[in-house]
Every structure is written in structure tokens, then in C-alpha cells.
Structure 1
Amino acid sequence: MWKILRQIARAGIPSEPPPFAAEAGEDAEIMHIRREILDILGQALAIREVDAGSCNGCELEVNALTNPYYNLEGLGIKFVASPRHADMLLVTGPVTRNMETALRRTYEATPEPRLVVAVGDCACDGGIFGESYASCGGVTKVVPVDVMVPGCPPAPLEIMRGILMAVRRRR
């Protein structure tokens, strides 16, 4: 145990460096998006995230939205477990044949006026998986989509822009 403690003392706590100064404009943009989302909503937005068969790259970026840097929870935007409590569906990945019925049922269980945001190239048009015996392709082939956020995977800021765009259309 002493050996491990000495190693920790020597190495310190490794962490990633803070964002570069070149990304300082990004901070201002994030703050602007936050303010606009709060102005439009005036209340909480509940999002149900559906993984329709992705490689989990987009899920990592969606998960980053809840960290202290992007802080969606602080805006009143939260992820919920039930589509019955959701205002928006955030769908990632190409829709696999096994998830087609589940996605359709999730969409139908979401109360009106519901919004659907397709996140990532795979959700937009099938991406590298395309349409095959195992995949229906993009989300639009199964449920109507309001906003598409392209990228493989898209950055958290792009996902925030997509959520804002969907909320603007709702207004």
C-alpha cells in the first residue's frame, strides 16, 4: 500500500488541460445558447435519449452535455427515463431492425407537442451502416424528425445548437 501511495504522490493527479485560449469564443457562444434556451423555455425541458443502435460515440458526446463545462442541468434541461415525461426525443445511431418497433413506441408514448432530434451521421442518414438487412437506415425512415445534427460524432456544442433549433421551432 505504501508503494501505491508513493507513486500517487510522485505522479500527482493527472487531468486534462483546460480549454485553449482559441476556444474562448466558444465559451461566449455556449453562454449565449444557454441564455436563449432559458428565454425560450422559461421552464424545464425533459429529454428522452434513445440509442437506436449506435457505436456509442454520440452517447459520449451527449453525456458530456451534463458535465460542469456545458451544464445542461443548470439550464433546466434534464434527461428522463420515461418517454411519457419527455418533451423531446434525442435519437442516436442508425435504427436497427430490432429497435424499429421500440423507437416507434417511444415516439408514440411521448406527449404532444413532441420534438425529435437526430444526433450523428448514422441517425441522419444511416452513416457508414446505411440501409441493410439489419438496419433501417436513418431515423426519418421510422419517425418524423424535426432537427438533424450531423457529425461523427458531433461536438456537444453542436448538439446544444440542435436542441436550441428544435426549441425555436416549437416556439
Structure 2
Amino acid sequence: MDLVTKARSKSPWIIHCNCGACNGCDIETLACLTPVYDVERFGVVNVGNPKHADILLVTGTVNHRNERVLRNIYEQMPEPKVVIAIGACGCSGGIFKDCYNVVGGADKVVPVDVYVPGCAAKPEAIIDGVVLGIEKYNKKVQSAS
């Protein structure tokens, strides 16, 4: 395993995509970055560019207007990559799943590795999901090398 790959597996960079949520899961996701939970101490960094991200956090239900945006963000991420669907809407479409403009959860557009249920998902559950995502990411890194 080369130095860059090892560094990426020890300090994953995360990008967050809101596909049209009520912002409950977004607030809880951002709470993970506050001093109360402080996920940055584990090396997790929130970035704004998908070309720098290892893990994609998806909140909200995917609709026809943001489906292309989500796919575009996913495709810009370097391999290997992990997708984590957060909240009931991100996992399955939630209470909006039967609406005319809703595609469904994130797994209808991109392959999802980890599901974090809840409405809104609690910060502890999100952190557990990210830790599971990091484990899956490390397995992908090891199988690629």
C-alpha cells in the first residue's frame, strides 16, 4: 500500500449532498462536526469538492431535478469511494416516496454502501454509519492494491 492510499484510508474526506431534505438530517450531520461530537479528531474532514472526497453522505429524498446532480457528484469522486445514505428519506424516500416527483432513496441513483435510518438520524447513528463506511472504504482500498 503506497503512502497516499494509506493516508486516505486513515483520514477520509467526506462530501455531503442534500437532495431535498427537511434539513433535520443535515443539522444532525453538521452537529457531528461541532465540539460536542468532534469527528475531526478521527481524521474525518468535510470538504466541498467531490474530486477530493472519499465518502459521500446523502440526505433527503432524491427527486427528478436533483438525480443528475447526485450522479454527477458521485462520478466525480475518485475510486475507491463509499456512499452513506442518511435518514429515512436518504434510505428509501421516507414520507415522500409516493410523491409524483420523487425517484426514491439514494440507492435508486448511486450504489449505497451504508444505510443510517432515522427521522432525523441522531449524530451518534451518523457517526456509527461513518465508522462503518470507513471500514468498507478500507476494504475497498485493500482489495484495489
TM-score surpassing 0.5?
yes
Show the counterpart of 1:52: 19
Match of 1:169 among 130, 133, 136: 136
SS of the equivalent of 2:91 reads helix
* 1:82 has 2:49 as partner: yes
TM-score, with structure 2 as normaliser: 0.87
Paired AA for residue 51 in structure 1: N
Secondary structure (helix, strand or coil) at the match of 2:120 reads coil
Q: 1:42 to 1:107 in 2, by over 3 A?
A: closer
Equivalent runs, 1:1-171 vs 2, <5 Å: 43-171=10-138
- Spell out, residue by residue over 1:98-157, the C-alpha distance to the aligned partner (whole angstroms, 9 max, x if none): 100000000000000000000000011110000432111111111100000000011100
Structure 1 stretches of 4+ with a deviation exceeding 6 A read none
Q: Which amino acid in 2 is paired with 1:143?
A: V
Structure 2 unaligned regions, length at least 5: 1-7, 139-145
Q: CA deviation at 1:42?
A: 6.3
Q: Which has more radius of gyration?
A: 1
Give identity over the alignment, percent.
44
The number of residues matched between the two structures is 132
TM-score normalised by L of structure 1: 0.74
- Write the letter of the residue equivalent to 1:46: W
